[in-house]
């Protein structure tokens, strides 16, 4: 059976530049949590950008199969409506756009895609309350403009809250731990753990080991020089903790 | 059908129209050498159509004692003496203002006695039925009076609107205007305000329609402690052109003024901002700001923006700035990564950018909502 996400020999670059991803293959099944680790410049953010269809990046070879279909040419909004979610490393501040208004538009875009009726304000609020209690989010975040004036921790928490609201099939967490103190990291990780689900795949991209202490992955991959140079199960993470990945990087 | 017969105008008006016509002839239409018009498409001025008709509707709640809100035609019939005292060509009036007095067909007068405060807004609907229409507005607020005036300009043709406002000490005027004329039409508007001691004025002007439009607002802060806020937005597509020409003269001490105009332009649209703040010697304690921000949605759209300060006083706080940019690509991607189609994402950002003009306006909920809806539907069309 094909997995939810099958990346096959993926080459990609910033438009007009040289390939940054040089043949990535990755297979992620529903219910699995994968961690992709690697040093700066390995291609981690390029991988998350390409998976989420960020403009300015182009796939030069290989395939991205999602749910059995090649989505390499599919625009970001369509991917999102099909269940691909990217938690941003740097969530974007959007002055003038109210967080609740934005989120309702987003939830309803998903529902239209699935042929479900849109939620009215009251129904939406009910859903918000349910998810807020799950993630321990303060509702004043929802009254403000999207990410404007949020602390680093609030921004990341808001990303996970959006994930809870949108219920993606594939969630890509791009450096979700970066810039967080221990308390914020714990809160964000607890949120992610609550969203683990047999029907949902999670790919965490991170520079630091410590995230794996809070969100235990099923599989760990090391990305270096645009390729995955080593993979293993969760015991591999503990091994890496001792040895580091510098020697793997050199092997690449 | 006696109403169809145009009563002869009083002789004072005939004389003033003739004098205004002479003045217009002496001044001639603005040319590209006039600083205030140099960026404007002047071809539309060269050929105003002959004749024209407009539908003017005044909408008001039951008016208390001390408020007069009437069309000029009704006042000519009912209170010509009062009108004779009010209707004059001010010194230094420009050519279009002179042409307006020479040719005007109708307009309105709003007079509020000292101390009278109205909560319900007064509304003026000016629907141009085609041809050249010259319309006049006169607003006089006595000391401590307070009122909200909402203008709607719609229709086709060539509109030349001139409004004079005088606010007594401590008077407060809230003015909102929605210009949504048809695509091929012309809308030229000039509003002059004089503010007495402690008077407080705010205008919120949305230039949405018309092929060529111009909103000139000149505020003279004549009394100490007066405050004025001029807010405007132009949302333009196709070959539309809109100019905002806000001018504030700080003649008295301790006055404050804000100018904030935002533009969103697609297609081959053209926006013009010519702001001016004048602070002569002695106007100490002045606090003034002037800001023009623009977003260009297409390569063919353009903006000419010229914020201008002339400051001769010493103790002055002044700031000004102008920006021209694109829609934020990162924000667009963020919205789309949450499933919003590109069109909806663009609309959301356009609306958010322009909405500041309305959101932070000092208007009651229903008036603000109405302006927001107007902005929304134009943002939708531009996205």
Nearest chain A Cα distance for residue B340, angstroms: 6
Is A80 in contact with B338 (Cβ distance < 8 A)? yes
Of B35 and B358, the one with more pLDDT: B358
Q: Do B333 and A54 touch (CB under 8 A)?
A: yes
Stretch B312-327: mean pLDDT: 95
- The CATH number linked to A120 is 3.40.50.300
Q: Which residues pair with A191 in a beta bridge?
A: none
Helices in chain A by DSSP H: which ranges?
A: 44-51, 76-81, 99-113, 121-135, 140-143, 152-166, 182-194, 210-214, 234-243, 246-251
Read off the pLDDT of each residue in B286-294 and give the average, rounded to a whole number.
Answer: 98
Contact A80 B335 (CB under 8 A): no
**Chain B residues within an 8 Å CB radius of A80:** 336-339
Measured between CA atoms, the residue of chain B closest to residue A162 is B338
pLDDT at B4 > cutoff 70: no
Give the separation between CA B152 and CA B301, rounded to whole angstroms: 26
Instruction: Check residue B177 and give its pLDDT.
Output: 98
Determine whether the interchain pair A75/B334 forms a contact, defined as Cβ–Cβ distance below 8 Å.
no
Q: Which residues of chain A have pLDDT under 70?
A: 1, 249-252
A223 in B contact zone (CB under 8 Å): no
The C-alpha of B360 sits at a distance from chain A's nearest C-alpha, in angstroms, of 11
Percentage above 90 pLDDT, chain B: 88
Q: What is the CA radius of gyration of chain B?
A: 21
Q: Which of A14, A49, A90, A105 is the mutation pick for testing B, counting most B CBs within 10 A? A: A105
Name which residue leads in pLDDT, B3 or B121: B121
Mean pLDDT in chain B?
94
pLDDT for position A148: 94
- Domain range enclosing A133: 5-251
Q: Report pLDDT for A1.
A: 58
* pLDDT score for B6: 53
The reported pLDDT for the residue numbered B91 is: 84
Confidence of residue B213 (pLDDT cuts 50, 70, 90): very high
**Comparing A186-195, B47-56, B353-362, which segment has the lowest mean pLDDT?**
B47-56
Ramachandran quadrant class, A112 (left: phi over 0; alpha: psi -120 to 50; beta: rest)? alpha
How many structural domains compose chain A?
A: 1
- Residue B7 pLDDT more than 90? no
**Whole-angstrom distance, CA of residue B350 vs CA of residue A180:** 32
Summarize the confidence of residues B79-107 as an average pLDDT: 92
A116-127 tens-digit pLDDT: 999 999 999 999
Nearest chain A residue to B343 by CA: give it. A77
CB contact under 8 A, B345 and A95: no
Tell me the nearest-neighbour CA distance from A93 into chain B, angstroms: 7
Query: What DSSP character marks residue B3?
Result: G
Q: How many CB atoms lie within 10 A of CB A12?
A: 24
Report chain B residues whose CB lies below 8 A from the CB of A86.
337
Residue B48 confidence (pLDDT): 77
Selected residue of B332, B337, B351 to mutate for chain A interface (largest A Cβ count, 10 A): B337
A116 touches chain B (CB under 8 A): no
* CB nearest B342 (choices: A77, A88, A103): A77
**Helix (H/G/I), strand (E/B), else coil: B135:** strand
User: Is B370 a residue whose pLDDT tops 80?
Assistant: yes
A22: number of Cβ within 10 Å: 19
pTM above 0.95? Answer: no
Digit-coded pLDDT (tens) for B163-186: 999 999 999 999 999 999 999 899
Identify which of A88, A96, A110 has the shortest CB distance to residue B339.
A110
């Amino acid at each position: 059976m094909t997995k939810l996400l099958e990346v096959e020999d993926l080459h990609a670059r910033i438009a007009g530049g040289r390939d940054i991803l040089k043949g990535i293959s990755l297979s992620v099944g529903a219910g699995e949590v994968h961690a992709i680790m690697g040093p700066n410049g390995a291609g981690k953010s390029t991988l998350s950008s390409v998976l989420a269809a960020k403009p300015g990046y182009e796939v030069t070879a290989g395939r991205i199969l999602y749910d059995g279909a090649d989505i390499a040419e599919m625009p970001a909004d369509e991917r999102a409506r099909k269940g691909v979610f990217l938690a941003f490393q740097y969530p974007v501040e959007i002055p003038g756009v109210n967080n609740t208004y934005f989120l309702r538009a987003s939830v309803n875009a998903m529902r239209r895609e699935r042929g479900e009726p849109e939620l009215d304000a009251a129904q939406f609020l009910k859903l918000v309350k349910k998810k807020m209690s799950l993630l321990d989010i303060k509702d004043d975040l929802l009254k403000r403009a999207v990410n404007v004036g949020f602390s680093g921790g609030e921004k990341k928490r808001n990303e996970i809250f959006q994930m809870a609201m949108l219920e993606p099939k594939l969630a890509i967490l791009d450096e979700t731990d970066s810039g967080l103190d221990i308390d914020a990291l714990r809160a964000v990780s607890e949120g992610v753990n609550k969203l683990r689900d047999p029907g949902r795949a999670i790919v965490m991209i991170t520079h630091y080991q410590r995230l794996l202490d809070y969100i235990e992955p099923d599989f760990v991959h090391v990305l270096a020089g645009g390729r995955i140079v080593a993979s293993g199960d969760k015991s591999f993470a503990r091994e890496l903790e001792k040895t580091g990945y510098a020697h793997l990087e050199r092997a690449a | 059908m006696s109403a169809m017969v145009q009563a002869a105008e009083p002789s004072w008006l005939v004389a003033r129209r003739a004098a205004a016509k002479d003045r217009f002839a002496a001044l001639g239409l603005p040319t590209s050498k006039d600083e205030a018009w140099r960026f404007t498409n002047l071809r539309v001025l060269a050929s105003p159509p002959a004749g024209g008709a407009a539908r003017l509707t005044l909408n008001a709640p039951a008016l208390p004692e001390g408020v007069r809100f009437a069309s000029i035609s009704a006042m000519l019939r009912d209170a010509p003496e009062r009108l004779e005292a009010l209707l004059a060509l001010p010194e230094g009036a420009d050519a279009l203002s002179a042409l307006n007095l020479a040719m005007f067909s109708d307009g309105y007068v709003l007079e509020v006695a000292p101390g009278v405060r109205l909560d319900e807004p007064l509304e003026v609907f000016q629907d141009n039925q085609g041809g050249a229409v010259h319309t006049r507005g006169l607003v006089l607020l006595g000391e401590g009076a307070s009122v909200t005036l909402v203008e709607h300009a719609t229709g086709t043709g060539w509109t030349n609107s001139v409004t004079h406002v005088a606010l007594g000490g401590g008077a407060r005027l809230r003015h909102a205007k929605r210009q949504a004329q048809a695509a091929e039409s012309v809308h030229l508007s000039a509003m002059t305000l004089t503010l007495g001691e402690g008077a407080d004025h705010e205008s919120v002007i949305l230039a949405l329609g018309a092929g060529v439009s111009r909103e000139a607002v000149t505020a003279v802060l004549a009394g100490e402690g007066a405050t004025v806020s001029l807010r405007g937005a132009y949302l333009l597509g196709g070959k539309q052109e809109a100019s905002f020409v806000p001018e504030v003269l700080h003649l008295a001490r301790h006055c404050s003024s804000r100018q904030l105009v935002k533009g969103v332009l697609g297609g081959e649209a053209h926006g013009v901002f010519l702001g001016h703040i004048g602070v002569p010697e002695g106007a100490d304690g002045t606090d003034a700001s002037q800001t023009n921000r623009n977003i260009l949605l297409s390569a063919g759209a353009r903006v000419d923006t010229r914020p201008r300060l002339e400051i001769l006083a010493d103790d002055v706080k002044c700031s000004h700035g102008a920006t021209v940019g694109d829609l934020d690509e990162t924000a667009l991607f963020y919205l789309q990564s949450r499933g919003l189609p590109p069109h909806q994402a663009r609309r959301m950002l356009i609306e958010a950018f322009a909405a500041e003009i309305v959101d932070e306006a000092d208007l009651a909920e229903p008036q603000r909502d109405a302006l927001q809806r107007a902005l929304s539907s134009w943002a939708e069309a531009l996205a």
